[in-house]
Homo-oligomer: A and B are copies of this chain.
Amino acid sequence: MKARITVTLKSGVLDPQGKAIQHTFEDLGIAGVDKVRQGKIFDIEIAETNKTKAEAQLKNMSEKLLANMVMENYTVEILD
């Protein structure tokens, strides 16, 4: 089963890399960029074929390794 896990910073958490990207657009002459926040995606294939069990496994994988639950949120999207 294919899935995409998206990990984003929680709203209160500073994102210095996003800020740096935002300023780089100014330097490149691209104006009107009000906000940039960076996140990560993980495109994953797992052997599990039962959708409910796959979702449970992917949540476990997110919380054990992919997301830092103190600072980050994650979403799991089953793609097939």
Q: Give residues in A with beta carbon < 8 Å to B.
A: 6, 8, 18, 21, 24-25, 28, 30-48, 57, 60-61, 64-66
A58 to chain B, nearest CB (A): 10
Listed by A's residue number, 8 A-B pairs whose Cβ atoms lie within 8 Å are A21-B65, A30-B60, A33-B47, A35-B43, A35-B44, A36-B44, A37-B44, A38-B42
Is the pair A57, B38 in contact by a Cβ cutoff of 8 Å? Answer: no
Closest 6 CB pairs of A and B: A32-B47, A35-B45, A34-B45, A39-B41, A37-B43, A32-B46
A31 neighbours in B (Cβ, 8 Å): 47
Given A21-B42, A28-B65, A41-B40, CB of A34 within 8 Å of CB of B8: no
